């Protein structure tokens, strides 16, 4: 096995990611077939066979495998090819240019999730070239449709082709390394559980009329109810994964802050610490059920008071939250019994992935070796990922983009000017490669 020049790997990853971003896989409609063809080209260049699984016209998923001897169960590298829409007017450059400048690759999907996909793809190729014998099959799965719920991607693969992708461990998105958010040490938050997404629709109905008349129109009532909702906040809850997270990140703090964070769940300090943690949006979302207003639809003219209004809410529930209890609290927060509440059922609860597994221990050791001052901790991610489909089948899924991001980097995810540094691409590829060597060789 020849020595790997990791700076060259980082530059190769940047060029590959630039080309990957240029394939517009905005979902809807997705059109991931072109991305599959691109990934197939890379695998073919390394003499790695792959299989395409078509779930709908122009929607496809791609699976490749490095054979092991079967003495241990497979591990899977998972990423999604689709991306969310980009408002081009808000970007400094074309979001699908894949621009390479100032040591960064810019474009929609750079972090979510094509950056992780390229790290996995190159690490997969390096493992193929290493000549090392593996005790596990190493699977690489690129899927469609994650940004719209995964019905044509991971969910479809699990429901229709589980024997082909059955595995013990899954490396997915959901967490990342950060710096400057909780202290000045790198904190690698590995997702082992996630909140339950639920769509809620609010409707107000009544009598409209001429816009010159002052009235309690349905739209006015909706605005008032939404204002009440925005000024309220669901109570903080501290599950087992969150307690572990707070114990680990307390090491980034000096006394007495370290003691307060470590004991945040205890009644004597619970309210005080929860309010302080609420100043960090990503952590606040781990502690409580969240409700985000995503759209309001009403009215057809500037001089007509509409006779109905509809609001859409993106709700993320903690695993311990009962839907009926949440809807009761939502109704109370709205403060208007005339608001009609309709909701879909949240996904079923699945167990958290183990933090004492061979995978988690190997990942922890490699990260600390490459970033000696870092902290590795499990988290319950506030976002929804494809990991839930694999956890429902008994696989242990772990979400981590192995990069060290700042808050400014995180703010670009699903936002404008999304980008990732070449340094992070090099670092992340090495973390994946060395973790899989330790886990599989």
CATH code, 337: 3.30.70.360
Q: Is residue 114 part of a domain?
A: yes
Cα–Cα distance for residue pair 400/284, rounded to 1 Å: 19
Q: What is the pLDDT of residue 344?
A: 87
Integer CA distances (angstroms), 49 to 90, 161, 372, 414, in order:
40, 18, 37, 33
Query: 214 falls in which pLDDT band (50, 70, 90)?
Result: low
**Mean pLDDT within 103-109:** 98
Evaluate if residue 129 carries a pLDDT over 60: yes
Task: Look up the domain containing 324 and give its range.
Answer: 196-343
Instruction: Give the residue from 293, 309, 343 where a domain finishes.
Output: 343
Task: Answer yes or no: do 330 and 366 share one domain.
Answer: no
Task: Answer yes or no: do 313 and 407 share one domain.
Answer: no
Q: Beta-carbon neighbour count of residue 307 at 10 Å?
A: 16
Could you tell me the two tokens for 83? Answer: 């991306």
Evaluate if residue 61 carries a pLDDT over 70: yes
Q: Is residue 191 part of a domain?
A: no
Can you name the residues that pair with 61 across neighbouring β-strands? 53
Could you tell me the two tokens for 14? Answer: 């940047």
User: How many structural domains does the chain have?
Assistant: 2
Q: Is residue 1 part of a domain?
A: no
**Higher-confidence position of 433 and 278:** 433
Q: Is residue 54 part of a domain?
A: yes
Task: Answer yes or no: do 222 and 161 share one domain.
Answer: no
Evaluate if residue 123 carries a pLDDT over 80: yes
Task: Answer yes or no: do 136 and 253 share one domain.
Answer: no
Task: Answer yes or no: do 102 and 148 share one domain.
Answer: yes
Q: Is residue 131 part of a domain?
A: yes
Q: Identify which of 228, 336, 240 has the alpha carbon closest to the alpha carbon of residue 291.
A: 228
Query: 31 falls in which pLDDT band (50, 70, 90)?
Result: very high
Task: Answer yes or no: do 244 and 107 share one domain.
Answer: no
Q: What is the pLDDT of residue 66?
A: 98
Q: How far is CA 272 from the centre of its chain?
A: 29
Evaluate if residue 342 carries a pLDDT over 90: yes
**pTM score:** 0.92
**Mean pLDDT within 4-22:** 98
Q: What is the pLDDT of residue 212?
A: 72
**Mean pLDDT within 37-42:** 98
Q: What is the pLDDT of residue 2?
A: 66
Evaluate if residue 1 carries a pLDDT over 60: no
pLDDT > 70: percent of the chain = 99
Q: Is residue 188 part of a domain?
A: no
**Mean pLDDT within 60-81:** 98
Q: Identify which of 192, 188, 152, 186 has the alpha carbon closest to the alpha carbon of residue 171.
A: 192
Q: What is the pLDDT of residue 215?
A: 65
Instruction: Give the residue from 343, 378, 394 where a domain finishes.
Output: 343
Q: Is residue 218 part of a domain?
A: yes
Task: Answer yes or no: do 168 and 244 share one domain.
Answer: no
84-88, 231-235, 254-258: range with highest mean pLDDT: 84-88
Query: 23 falls in which pLDDT band (50, 70, 90)?
Result: very high
Evaluate if residue 8 carries a pLDDT over 70: yes
The sign of the dihedral angle between the CA atoms of 209, 213, 217, 223 is positive
Task: Answer yes or no: do 92 and 238 share one domain.
Answer: no
Evaluate if residue 153 carries a pLDDT over 80: yes
The answer to whether 205 and 395 have CB atoms below 8 angstroms apart is no
Q: Identify which of 339, 288, 295, 301 has the alpha carbon closest to the alpha carbon of residue 314.
A: 295
Q: Collapse the DSSP code of 62 into the 3-class scheme (helix H, G, I; strand E, B; otherwise coil) and give the result.
A: strand
Could you tell me the two tokens for 420? Answer: 């990732």
Task: Answer yes or no: do 84 and 223 share one domain.
Answer: no
Q: What is the pLDDT of residue 182?
A: 85
Q: Is residue 435 part of a domain?
A: yes
Evaluate if residue 410 carries a pLDDT over 60: yes
Evaluate if residue 249 carries a pLDDT over 90: yes
Task: Answer yes or no: do 164 and 34 share one domain.
Answer: yes
Instruction: Give the residue from 343, 364, 390 where a domain finishes.
Output: 343
HEC assignment per residue over 127-153: HHHHCCCCCCCEEEEEECCHHHCCCCC
Task: Answer yes or no: do 329 and 359 share one domain.
Answer: no
The answer to whether 66 and 137 have CB atoms below 8 angstroms apart is yes
In CATH, what number is assigned to the domain containing residue 57?
3.40.630.10
Task: Answer yes or no: do 14 and 41 share one domain.
Answer: yes
**Mean residue pLDDT across the chain:** 95
């Amino acid at each position: 096995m020849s020595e790997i020049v990791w700076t060259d790997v980082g530059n190769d990853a940047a060029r590959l990611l630039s080309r990957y971003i240029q394939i517009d896989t905005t979902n809807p409609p997705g059109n991931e077939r072109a991305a599959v063809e691109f990934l197939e080209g890379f695998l073919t260049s390394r003499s790695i066979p792959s299989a395409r699984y078509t779930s709908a016209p122009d929607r496809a998923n791609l699976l490749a495998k490095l054979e092991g001897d079967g003495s241990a169960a497979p591990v899977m590298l998972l990423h999604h090819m689709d991306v969310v829409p980009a408002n081009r007017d808000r970007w400094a450059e074309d979001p699908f240019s894949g621009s390479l400048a100032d040591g960064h690759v810019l474009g929609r999907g750079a972090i979510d999730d094509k950056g992780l996909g390229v790290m996995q793809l190159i690490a997969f190729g390096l493992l193929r070239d290493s000549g090392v014998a593996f005790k596990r099959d190493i699977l690489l799965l690129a899927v469609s449709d994650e940004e719209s719920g995964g019905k044509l991607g991971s969910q479809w693969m699990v429901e229709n082709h589980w024997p082909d992708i059955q595995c013990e461990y899954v490396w997915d998105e959901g967490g990342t390394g950060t710096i400057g958010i909780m202290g000045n040490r790198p904190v690698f938050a590995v997702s082992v559980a996630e909140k339950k997404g639920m769509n809620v629709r609010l409707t107000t109905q009544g009598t409209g009329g001429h816009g010159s008349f002052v009235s309690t129109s349905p739209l006015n009532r909706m605005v008032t109810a939404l204002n009440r909702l925005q000024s309220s906040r669901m109570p903080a809850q501290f599950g087992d994964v969150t307690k572990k997270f707070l114990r680990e990140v307390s090491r980034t703090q000096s006394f007495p802050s370290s003691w307060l964070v470590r004991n945040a769940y205890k009644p004597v300090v619970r309210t005080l610490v929860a309010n302080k943690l609420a100043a960090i949006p990503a952590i606040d979302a781990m502690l409580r059920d969240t409700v985000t207003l995503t759209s309001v639809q009403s009215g057809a003219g500037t001089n007509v008071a509409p006779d109905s209004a509809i609001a859409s809410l993106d709700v993320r529930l903690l695993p311990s939250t009962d839907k009926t209890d949440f809807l009761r609290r939502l109704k109370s927060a709205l403060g208007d019994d005339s608001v009609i509440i309709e909701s879909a059922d949240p996904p079923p609860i699945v167990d958290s992935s183990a933090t004492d597994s061979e995978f988690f221990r190997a990942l922890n050791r490699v990260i600390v070796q490459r970033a000696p001052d870092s902290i590795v901790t499990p988290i319950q991610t506030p976002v929804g990922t494809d990991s839930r489909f694999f956890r429902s089948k008994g696989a242990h899924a772990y979400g981590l983009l192995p990069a060290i991001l700042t808050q400014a980097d995180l703010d670009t995810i699903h936002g404008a000017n999304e980008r990732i540094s070449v340094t992070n691409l090099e670092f992340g590829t090495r973390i994946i490669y060395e973790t899989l060597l330790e886990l599989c060789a």
